[in-house]
Structure 1
């Protein structure tokens, strides 16, 4: 199985729902990672603000940060090699790495909307 690691820039939380604005890419990523976890896949994720040691201990990431600075974050490694810098992976990329259909990672919406009526 592929080893996928995501090195996030310094953030207060990984979901993107903190602060005054919500980053839709971070909420998509959280949903994709949840879907992958339910399927038995593991993606390691590190936040520069909370886990700086993970950035200094990984030579590939440490070298990348010395070359490109924090603008290279988020950085994604697959089996120890940098495959993406400065943006999060797409569903298609996750699908390729884990050999699953990208549509299996999309958030499923209820087929019929909930109808709440006042009693």
Structure 2
């Protein structure tokens, strides 16, 4: 089985999907990773702030970080080989690298923009909603607010 590893910059929690200003690319990437896993793929992500030892123990990630710097992350490895740097992979890329039979039909559509929501309302994204309601499982409650 193909092993996909994503070494990403330091985020406030394991997924980066917490707090009030959630980055849409992290939401999309987390959903795409979940999809790969449910289809049987092997994908792991390592957050520099939360798992620095993973960077130190992986020669490719350590060398990349030392040479290019944290601002050049994420770096994606497939079976130890660098396949992508500087951005998160798409669902199609993850599916191809994981050699999944069920190719994605389309990229994930982003949630409705806040601009079209009724004034005064706030849409919570599913993964961030638990954090907003006081579930501190993603980051120990230190960054979620």
TM-score scaled by structure 2? 0.67
Mapped to 2, the partners of 1:14 and 1:32 lie a distance apart of 15
Contact kept in structure 2, 1:4 and 1:43, CA below 8 Å? yes
Change (3 A) 1:72 1:87: same
Partner of residue 12, structure 1: 12
Change (3 A) 1:52 1:78: same
Contact kept in structure 2, 1:35 and 1:105, CA below 8 Å? no
For these two proteins, the number of residue pairs brought into alignment is 107
TM-score scaled by structure 1? 0.80
- Is 2:43 aligned against 1:31? no
Higher helix share: 1
Quote the RMSD (CA, aligned, Å): 1.8
Contact kept in structure 1, 2:3 and 2:98, CA below 8 Å? no
Unaligned runs of 5+ in 2: 110-145
Deviation at 1:96, TM superposition (A): 1.5
Partner of residue 91, structure 2: 91
Contact kept in structure 2, 1:7 and 1:74, CA below 8 Å? yes
